[in-house]
């Protein structure tokens, strides 16, 4: 029997949605010709409205002027979630962006099925933060608030590896022990389960805050940011001696969710000031050009 619950996986890299029918689960094509949707958004500078998924990526590749954002889920539970910046002609928070993204997923699912979804069953990692229970709880609260702001009246959560075990339990014989490994964009999760006739029995869950975006960040910091001045030195404006180039700006520039927030006058002024006193001004000038042309996501 069809329900009014939309099952949704808001992934760091990709998202998906499904509905339960009497005879099983049906995945909903929330992207044109596809059952998965890139978790990406684009805000054109002309204020014509947020684009999501492949349309957002296409706008970036085509060089349209605007702000491209992805890996939004990695900000859950952090103060940045509720800070506002100018996006698409008005001030928005990442919380609001995620809510708008979920609202559009819900609209597409309702358009495809012809049904109104009042409830959401959302996947979540075993731990948003593996070593901080308080931030882990805050991250789930943040995500719940986004679903409610998107128009859902009730939200429940299911750990993503448990969902995988439920979906695949028929692949093993009765009483067999299995291991689900979920290497995601922002987290990695593991579930040990035992197959039973009715449904799998979850024996243990474990998760760490380590995923594909962490590898992106490490490669960017070690191979790209030195070309923009990271690791260099600055001359003191008063007195003798040298100072190291500050790392904070580069850390943010290598972090998917924070890149769009660097395209601000104060950041550009900071980079230009470093270029004036840099031992290697050419490298810092490349950083200035990156910020001026908003090339951090290309």
Tens-digit pLDDT profile for residues 156-172: 999 988 888 877 765 55
Residue 298 falls inside a structural domain = no
pLDDT of residue 63: 85
pLDDT of residue 239: 81
Residue 221 falls inside a structural domain = yes
Q: Which two tokens stand for residue 169?
A: 């339990």
Compute the average pLDDT of residues 109-131.
Answer: 92
d(CA 75, CA 85) in angstroms, rounded, equals 15
Name the domain count of the chain: 3
Same domain membership, residue 181 and residue 165 = yes
Q: Which two tokens stand for residue 163?
A: 């969902």
17 pLDDT exceeds 90? yes
* Whether this model's pTM surpasses 0.95: no
Give residues with Cβ within 8 angstroms of 154, minimum separation 6.
Answer: 118, 119, 120
Residue 81 falls inside a structural domain = yes
146 pLDDT exceeds 90? yes
Same domain membership, residue 251 and residue 105 = no
Same domain membership, residue 89 and residue 37 = yes
Same domain membership, residue 149 and residue 180 = no
Same domain membership, residue 37 and residue 151 = yes
pLDDT of residue 49: 87
pLDDT of residue 172: 56
Same domain membership, residue 126 and residue 184 = no
Compute the average pLDDT of residues 197-203.
Answer: 80
pLDDT of residue 245: 96
Domain membership of residue 143 as a residue range: 5-159
Same domain membership, residue 18 and residue 106 = yes
Confidence of residue 1 (pLDDT cuts 50, 70, 90): very low
Higher pLDDT, 189 or 89: 189
């Amino acid at each position: 029997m069809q329900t009014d619950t939309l099952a949704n996986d808001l992934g760091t890299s990709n998202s998906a949605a499904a509905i339960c029918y009497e005879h099983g689960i049906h995945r909903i094509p929330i992207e044109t010709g596809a059952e998965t949707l890139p978790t990406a958004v684009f805000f054109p500078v002309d204020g014509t409205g947020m684009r999501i998924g492949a349309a957002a990526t296409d706008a970036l590749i085509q060089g349209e002027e605007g702000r491209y954002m992805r890996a939004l889920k990695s900000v859950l539970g952090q103060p940045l979630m509720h800070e506002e910046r100018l996006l698409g002609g008005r001030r928005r928070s990442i919380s609001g962006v995620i809510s708008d993204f979920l609202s559009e997923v819900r609209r597409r699912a309702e358009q495809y099925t012809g049904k109104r979804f009042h409830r959401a069953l959302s996947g979540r990692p075993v731990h948003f933060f593996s070593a901080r229970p308080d931030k882990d709880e805050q991250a789930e609260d943040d995500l719940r608030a986004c679903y409610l702001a998107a128009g859902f009246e009730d939200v429940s959560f299911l750990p993503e590896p448990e969902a995988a075990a439920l979906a695949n339990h028929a692949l093993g014989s009765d009483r067999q022990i299995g291991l689900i490994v979920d290497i995601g964009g922002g987290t990695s999760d593991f579930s040990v389960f035992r197959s039973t006739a009715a449904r799998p029995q979850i024996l243990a869950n474990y998760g760490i805050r380590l995923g594909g975006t962490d590898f992106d960040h490490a490669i960017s910091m070690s191979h790209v940011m030195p070309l923009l001045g990271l690791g260099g030195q600055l001359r003191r404006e008063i007195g003798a001696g040298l100072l190291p180039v500050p790392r904070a700006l580069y850390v943010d520039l290598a972090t998917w969710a924070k890149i769009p927030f660097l395209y601000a006058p104060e950041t550009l002024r900071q980079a230009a000031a470093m270029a004036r006193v840099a031992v290697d001004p050419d490298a810092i000038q490349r950083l200035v050009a990156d910020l001026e042309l908003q090339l951090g996501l290309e």
